[in-house]
Chains A and B, each alone.
Chain A
Amino acid sequence: MSAVKAESVFPRLEALLPLVQKPIQYVGGELNAVSKEWESTTVRWALMYPDAYEIGVPNQGVQILYEVLNEQSDVLAERTYSVWSDLETLMREHGVPQFTVDAHRPIGAFDVFGLSFSTELGYTNMLTALDLAGIPLHAADRTDEHPIVLAGGHAAFNPEPIARFIDAAVLGDGEQVALEITDLIRGFKAEGSPGGREQMLMRLAQTGGVDVPAVYDVEYLPDGRIKRVVPNRPGVPWRVSKHTVTDLDAWPYPKKPLVPLAESVHERASVEIFRGCTRGCRFCQAGMITRPVRERSITGIGEMVEQALQSTGFEEVGLLSLSSADHSEIKEVAKGLADRYEGTNTSLSLPSTRVDAFNIDLANELSRNGRRSGLTFAPEGGSERIRRVINKMVTEEDLIRTVATAYGNGWRQVKLYFMCGLPTETDEDVLQIATLAREVIKTGREVAGRKDIRCTVSIGGFVPKPHTPFQWAAQLDHETTDARLAKLRNNIRDDRQFGKAIGFRYHDGKPGIVEGLLSRGDRRVGAVIEAVWRDGGRFDGWSEHFSFERWMRCAEQSLASEPIDVDWYTTREREFSEVLPWDHLDSGLDKDWLWEDWQDSLNDVEVEDCRWTPCFDCGVCPQMGTDIETGPTGKQLLPLTAIGAGVETLRA
C-alpha cells in the first residue's frame, strides 16, 4: 500500500546523533520493547505520543496499545515521539524522515499512524511529525500510499480543531477498538483494498465507533455559531460513540511495562486500579468522559504489580486511577502489598488522592518499605462556596484535619492544588486560599509541635472542557486570571507569621487561553493551528517554547474573514440551544443532564457519587450499555513475591 520503503533509517540517523541533545532518546532499545519482522505482519501501526520522549514513553495509553497490538502475531506496532528542534533541523537537512524508535522505520510506511492526545497542546507537534514523515498535512491531500492518521486520547473527544489534519478519531478506551480497526484493515487488504482509501474510511465511519471528519459537513449561522453537523453521504451515522472496556481483569495491560534507558518523567511502573470516576467534579473532563467506574479486582492488581516489578526492576509502582483512594478495597490492597514487599525497598504510591484522613493511613502503609513521597491534596477551590459550585465536596474542616494528621504522622511538607478562574469565582474566593493555607500551617505547627513545616500552594487557570457541565461556561480572560493570582501571591507573601512557610507556584493565564481555544474550538480553528505551526510553533506544552503572542497573531490573521475570534471561543458563555462542535460525538452523557448540572452548579447545588447513592441519570450506562463494576470481592493478596528470588542462583 505504501510507497515508502520500510527499511531502517538508523544508519543515517546515527551520524546525526552526536550532534544533538540527549541522543539516547532516539535510540530505542527499551527493556520490554518488541521487535518484529516487517514482512511477517499484515497490519502495521505507528503509535505516537506527540511530545518529547521523556514525557511520551511512560504514557500508559500508548504502552497498552503497543502491547495489545503486538500480541497479535500478524500485527506490528512501533512507537514514535516528537523530535526536538535540533534533530528536526538535521533531519530536514539530511532527508531523514520521522521514524519509530523501535526499528527506526519511516512512519510513512505504516498502515495506521495513531496519535494519542492527552492534551490539545500536542497538535502542532503532530504537524511536525506528519511533515517530517512526508505525509500531506491535510487529510484531503492524502492518497492510498499514505497511512490512515488516527487520533485518540482525551482530546479526541473534540477532534474538530484538527479535523483537517486527521483521517479519523476514536473516543474512549482504545484496546478493543484498536483490534476492531485492525480486523477491518486486515479484511480490507485481503479483499485487495477495493475503492482505496476513501472506501476504507467509509467502512470505519459506518461502524459508528470511528469519527471520520470528512464524512460530516459543518454548516454555520451568519453570526458564526454552528447551524448543524450533517453526514454528507448515505450510510454514515449521525452520532459517533465512545468505547468502554468492561472487566478490567480481562485487560491486564501493560503486562511488561517499557523501561527506557533515557530518563523519563515517571521513573516507576504503573498499574491502573480502576477506570472512570463518578465523584462528579464539574470541571473534570476525565471524570465525565470515562464513566462508569470499572474496578480491577484486588487479586488482579496484585498480579499486575508483581509482574511489573519483576519485568522492570523499578523500585516504585504507582497505583493509578482518577481518585485511587476510592477503590472499594484500597485498604486491603495497600496492606496486602506493603506486607508482600516488606524488606524489599519497594515503594508504592497513589498519585491521585482525595482530601481525607484515610489517605494518610494509606500513604503510611504504602511507604512502609521504600521511599516516602510527598503528600498532595487537591481542594481545587479556595472557598466552601466555590467548592460547591465545582462539586468538590470538601469542607474546610476536612482539609485542616487531613493535613494536620499528615503533619502529626511526620510529614513536613504538603502540597495543595487549586484552580483559578472557575465559574462565578470572585477575588474573595481565591484569596480564601491564603486563609486556608495559613490555617493549615497554624494547625500543623500545633499538631507537630514544631515550626519547620511547610505547605506549597500550586494553582493553575481553569479551562472549560467539552462533555462537562462547564462546557457552556465563559473562560476567565488571562488578564483577570493573572491579576487574581498576583493578589493571592501578595496576600501570602505579606503574611509575617506564616508567609515563609507557604510556597506559591502558579501558571499564568495565557497558555490556558490557547488551551481553551483548542479545547472548545471547531474546524475553523484548524487554520490557526496550521498558521502557528508554519510560523515555527512547536512543543506548546513547554513554557520555554510556547508563544502566546504567536498564537494570538496567527489567530487574528487566520480568523480575519470569520465573524468570530479567540474571545468568542474562550471567554464567551454559550446558551443551551447552541450547537456545540462535539455534539455529534457521543460520550454517553446526556446533554440535558449536563445542562441541569451546570444550572445546579450556579445555584450551589451539589450532586452525590452514584457508587454509593442511587443513579442520578447522567445517561452513560443506558446509552453505552455499561454498568458500574466495583467490589468488594472479599479476596486477599497472597504474600508471595518473586522479588529477590534470583539470589539462590547467585550464592557462592
Chain B
Amino acid sequence: MARQPPVRDVAPTVQKLRVRYAKRGRLRFTSHRDIQRALERALRRAGVPMAYSAGFTPHPKISYAGAAAMGSASEAEYLEISVTERLAPDRVRASLDAALPPGLDVLEVVEAAPGALVDLLQASEWQIELPDVSAGQASAAGEAFMAEAEVDVERMMKAGPRRFDARGPVVRLAASGGTTASGAPCAILRMVVRHATPAVRPDDILTALRQLAGLTPPVPPMVTRLAQGPLDPESGTVADPLAADRASVGDVVAADPHPR
C-alpha cells in the first residue's frame, strides 16, 4: 500500500505562457540545472502565480525545451510555464527579467497557442567564433565537411563513448572572417542544424572539422545559438517558433482537463 500524498488545494492552470530568453556572457557557464533553479526562484520573487504539481513534492509546472549545452551562449532559449491566473505576457516579461541575474535575459513572453512547443523547435542556427583562426582556413574546412555525405564523430555520453553521424543534420554551413567581443580577429562559422537523436552539437561539428581538415582552434571557441524554431526545408532557414502564438492572441486557452 503506497503512502497517500497529502491533500492540498492545487489551483488549476488557466494560462500557459511561452518564454524566450537569452544566456549571455559569463552566464553561458550555467548548466541546464543551474538555469532551472535560478528560474524557479526568479518566478517566486516576481510573484508569478505558478501552477504546481500535486504529490509529496509539489513542483512548479515548467517545461523546458532543447536547452543549449553548458558553455554555449544563446539568444534563443525557450520554455513554457503554467499559471493559475490570467496574466499580461509583457508584464511577466519585464518582471521576470528584473528578477533574473543579468546575463539570463527574458526577451519575449507570449500566451501559448495550442500544440506542443517542443514540436516547433526543429532546428537551430549556431554561430561559432574561432579566435586566431583565419577565415580561409575555416572556409576550407567547412567546404570539406559539406562535401561529405556522412562524417562519424565520437562523443563521451553518460553511457560511454558513442559514435554517430555529425554531417546528416547539418542543413547549411558557411565561414567568414570577423572579430571577437574583445576585438581580436577570428573566423566565424554559421550553421543550421536539424534537431536529431542524438543531438548534433556545435562541438561535434568542430570535432568533425578537426578530423576532416585538421582545424584545431588554439583557444576555446565561443559558441552562440542565434535562433531555434521550425525549419524551412526550402531555404534552410529557421523560423520564429512564437509566430503562431502571437497570431492567436485572444484565443481561449484550452481549459484544465480536471477542473475542481
Contact = CB atoms under 8 A, between A and B. Distances in A.
Given A10-B26, A15-B219, A19-B220, 12 more contacts: A15-B220, A24-B31, A24-B70, A31-B101, A263-B33, A313-B43, A314-B41, A345-B52, A647-B49, A647-B85, A651-B85, A651-B86
Contact of B27 (A29, A311, A410, A450): A29
A609 interface: no
Given A15-B219, A267-B37, A650 B48 contact: yes
B38 interface: yes
B34 interface: yes
Contact of A23 (B29, B40, B47, B102): B29
B220 A18 contact: yes
A646 B182 contact: no
**Main DSSP-derived SS at the A contact region:** loop
B45 A310 contact: yes
Given A15-B219, A18-B71, A371 B57 contact: yes
A27 interface: yes
B14 to A, nearest CB: 10
B58 A450 contact: no
Contacts of B70: 23-24
A372 interface: yes
Interface in B1-58: 1, 3, 6, 9, 26-27, 29-31, 33-34, 37-38, 40-49, 52, 56-58
Q: Interface centre among B26, B38, B42, B85, by most A CB within 10 Å?
A: B26
Contact of A651 (B38, B57, B88, B219): B88
22 contacts: A10-B26, A14-B26, A23-B71, A27-B27, A29-B26, A31-B41, A259-B38, A261-B30, A263-B33, A263-B34, A267-B37, A312-B41, A313-B41, A345-B52, A345-B58, A370-B58, A371-B56, A644-B49, A647-B47, A647-B85, A650-B47, A651-B85
Interface in A599-652: 643-647, 649-652
A315 B45 CA distance: 10
A313 B40 contact: yes
A234 interface: no
B87 interface: yes
A652 B220 contact: no
Q: Interface centre among A27, A261, A343, A410, by most B CB within 10 Å?
A: A261
Contacts of A261: 27, 30, 34, 37-38, 101
Interface string B224-260: 0000000000000000000000000000000000000
A315 B1 CA distance: 30
Interface in A402-417: 410, 412
Interface in A199-237: none
A10 B52 CA distance: 40
Given A17-B29, A267-B37, A313-B44, A371 B85 contact: no
Interface stretch (B91-99, B115-123, B146-154, B190-198): B91-99
B95 A649 contact: yes
Interface of B: 1, 3, 6, 9, 26-27, 29-31, 33-34, 37-38, 40-49, 52, 56-58, 70-71, 85-88, 91-92, 95, 99, 101-103, 182, 219-220
Contacts of A192: none
B59 to A, nearest CB: 9
Interface string A261-273: 1110001000000
Interface in A81-98: none
A11 interface: yes
B45 A313 contact: yes
A646 B99 CA distance: 11
A11 B44 contact: no
Nearest to A450: B1
Contacts of B49: 644, 647, 650
